Chains A and B, each alone.
Chain A
Amino acid sequence: MGLSIEPFLPEHTEAVRAFNRRLEARGSTFRFPDTPVPTWLPPQDGVPVYQEYYLVRDREAVRGGYILKPQAFWVEGSVRMIADYRLPVSEGIVDPRHAIVGMLTLKDALKRQPFLFGLGMGSPEEPVARLLKIFDFPIVPCPFYFRIIRPKRFFEGIAFLRNSNVKRKLLDLFAATGAGWVAMKAAHRVRNRYKQEASRFSSSEEMTFGPWADAIWESAKGAYALCAVRDRMVLDTLYPPEEHRFTRLKVSEDGMTVGWAVVLDTHMRNHRQFGNLRVGSIVDCLALPGREAGVIAGATHFMESRKVDLIVSNQLQRDWCQGFLANGYLSGPTNYFFAVSPALEKLLRPLEETLEQTHMTRGDGDGPINL
């Protein structure tokens, strides 16, 4: 007998749990979901975004698995299903006898959906990114933008920068003397070219995405080469009303709806990068063409009023990137990478141009985890 790849069925549950136990026993922190029906985005009739779990089986044992997340995307002028390749887990990471399993998961995913992408890798050197690179996936960074709202708290709490005694002392000095406050306010103000216009934009919290979201989607989609369908049904699936951590903001300009943003306000606890800071994140957004900076201004104003310590976002599409800079955000090192399969890359040629019109946010891929 050899290895076969099959959908995760209820009768495989115990074998998946045994697989997870073997990973844990050998020191791996990876786990594969141990229920066959995904808790996040299970398949539902008529909803064009869902997850499927696949297992690599060796007789009765499970040796690995991966998640395929098919989703309707606007691709170069029409809607088609493409898929995100998520959470490949292989027993090969703890037992070299199963080293071939990781590759099998990717081959199987490509066979089921050649128009495949990966999103959210922390670096091109991560094992998954290296595997995708071997299979000729181009890998590009999704730029990271941040704006410090409360400099004193930021300098006292930013774990990522406070990684040596010297840096800690310097940052404490910045916080204590107000030098950091002055420097950060100056940096944001110099870059905030949008301050005048920003006052025209206001935001309102919404419980669900209404018909206005469909109108925004219909008007906006043509501006993108690649963008997940962001109509009302998809958005209410990704950001359901019962998920209270999501804040849905409808942004208006002089009373007219021009876009929306989904934001999080998270009080971090011992976070690797953010320590115990209160982090606002703009995880997803869409705007009428030309109103991207306005939507960012509306979302930023809302997060400022919530008194977060800083606001962060990852973006790829050019107008959104420029919009963040125009709103006084600074660009920092990113840990969010996007990879496209060779078949998808062919659809998007020339990739270096279409990437500028590719809308990818933290709301895509794995969803807003770690935020």
Chain B
Amino acid sequence: MPTASDVTGAILASIRESLEMKGITEPPTAQTPVDARLGLDSLDWAAIVVRLEGVLGIDPFEEGVDRELKTIQDIVGVYEDALRRRDG
């Protein structure tokens, strides 16, 4: 079962992978805003979510999203919520 730090690490790694594919080398942190400054478009996010489904075995977006996504930490929260729901 992935821990909270596993989730954060996996999300940051997946985001970093997409950024590197676009030539962006500045590493994101949990506090990085998920807006235009980050440099990812909708297709990048789709690829990130599909990769994370493979790594973490969950799809937290199946039922929509129940929190506002302003920073990477908010995305971590979405995954953590989904893990909690899955594991009771």
Contacts and interface: CB of A to CB of B under 8 A. Distances in A.
B78 to A, nearest CB: 8
B38 interface: yes
Contacts of B42: 90, 92-93, 99-103, 127, 131
B34 A130 contact: no
B41 A2 contact: no
Given A104-B61, A107-B61, A2 B69 contact: yes
Interface string A90-126: 1011011101111110111001000000000000000
B43 to A, nearest CB: 5
A28 interface: no
Nearest to B44: A99
A3 interface: yes
A100 B69 contact: yes
B43 A100 contact: no
B2 to A, nearest CB: 21
A1 interface: yes
A30 interface: no
- Considering residues A95, A104, A127, A130, which has the most beta carbons from chain B within 10 angstroms of its beta carbon? A104
Nearest to A3: B65
A92 to B, nearest CB: 4
Contact of A111 (B44, B50, B62): B62
Given A97-B34, A97-B35, A103-B49, A92 B65 contact: no
B85 to A, nearest CB: 14
A178 B4 CA distance: 75
8 contacts: A1-B66, A90-B42, A93-B42, A97-B35, A104-B61, A127-B43, A131-B46, A134-B46
Given A2-B66, A99-B41, A131-B46, 17 more contacts: A2-B69, A4-B64, A90-B42, A92-B41, A92-B42, A95-B36, A99-B34, A99-B44, A102-B46, A103-B61, A104-B61, A106-B46, A111-B62, A130-B43, A131-B43, A135-B46, A135-B50
